[in-house]
Structure 1
Amino acid sequence: MPAVFAAVFIALYVAHQVADHWIQTQHQADCKGRPGWPGRIACAAHVTTYTATAFGFLAVLTLTTDIDLSLGRVFAGLAVSAVTHYTADRRTPLKRLADLCGADRFYALGAPRAGRDDNPTLGGAYALDQSFHYAWLFVAALIIT
């Protein structure tokens, strides 16, 4: 069973990287954190393709190995992943969590300064976002296996 968990987690991790960095459209990336319905719709579209990508990777895993996964557990694990991914990508909940944990300065690391034409980098908000996703991928893999 530990090997199945490892294989499922790796499939989810790789699917996450592909979906977040290759599948996600620029529009989704730019708009998913905006307030109101435009942000919600962009985020939901991203999470839909993200979850479909994860499902595809798990399907390939089961079709090319001797691993047999319960479809119900796959759906439950992917539902946890989708809901938590949506929550983090709406930005405000993740920012509030960072503030609550005392990571507000780290969250702001790399963000453009107000009134400046700074070059934003992959900084604290991105690192906290990704680590949040990885933690929930771990939970999803536990549920699936």
Structure 2
Amino acid sequence: MASRAARTAAVAVITDHIHTWADYWGQRDTDAQTKGLPGAEGRAACARHVANHTAHLAVALLAANRLLDLNIRPKRLATGLALAAGTHYLADRSGGHWKDTQPTTFLVRAAHKLGKQGWIQNDPTAGPHLDQAWHRAWHLVAAAIIAR
């Protein structure tokens, strides 16, 4: 049986790689374009994306659990995936809002409070980089929960 450290490392690597796949290749184009819209349409698109993303993570982690004998407990897996999903939704509602002069979403407001507005306004890749850093940090926390 793998040690907790080995399980955490394996889950973190798998989660990180599958996240990248699911967030780009696995995301429906229409959801990518509309998940930041206000109202029901934006919320539904974001929820579909997050559900799809979470399903990718779950399938990969269940397969790894079986193939690598990671001894992942179902409750821990569910808790970690719920954390990843919730934080993913919170961030992805910012899609299309990074250059808003009056920040309207949680993550854009946080970035402005941390003094990132100059970078955001001057570099078109700043918002996506901040988004991905947010996701990856929370996925590491989720991996630690899942592997415990």
Q: What TM-score do the two structures reach when normalised by structure 1?
A: 0.89
CA distance, structure 2, for counterparts of residue 106 and residue 60 of structure 1: 40
Residue in 1 that maps onto 2:87: 84
Give unpaired runs (5+ residues) of structure 2. 95-104
Residue in 1 that maps onto 2:102: none
CA distance, structure 1, for counterparts of residue 12 and residue 120 of structure 2: 26
1:104 equivalent to 2:117? Answer yes
Give the drift of 1:60.
Answer: 1.2
Residue in 2 that maps onto 1:126: 128
CA distance, structure 2, for counterparts of residue 139 and residue 106 of structure 1: 27
Residue in 2 that maps onto 1:43: 46
Percent of residue pairs bearing the same amino acid type: 39
Residue in 2 that maps onto 1:27: 30
Of structures 1 and 2, the one scoring higher in RCO (CA 8 A, sep 6+) is 2
CA distance, structure 1, for counterparts of residue 85 and residue 131 of structure 2: 14
Matched residue of 2:25: which SS? Answer: helix
Deviations 1:66-105 (A, max 9, x none): 2110000000000000000000000121101101111112
Q: What TM-score do the two structures reach when normalised by structure 2?
A: 0.88
Give the drift of 1:109.
Answer: 3.6
Q: How many residues align?
A: 134
Give the drift of 1:108.
Answer: 2.8
Residues 55-70 of structure 1 aligned to structure 2 (within 5 Å): 55-70=58-73
Task: Pick from 137, 141, 144 the counterpart of residue 143 of structure 2.
Answer: 141
- Structure 1 segments, 4+ long, off by >6 Å, are none
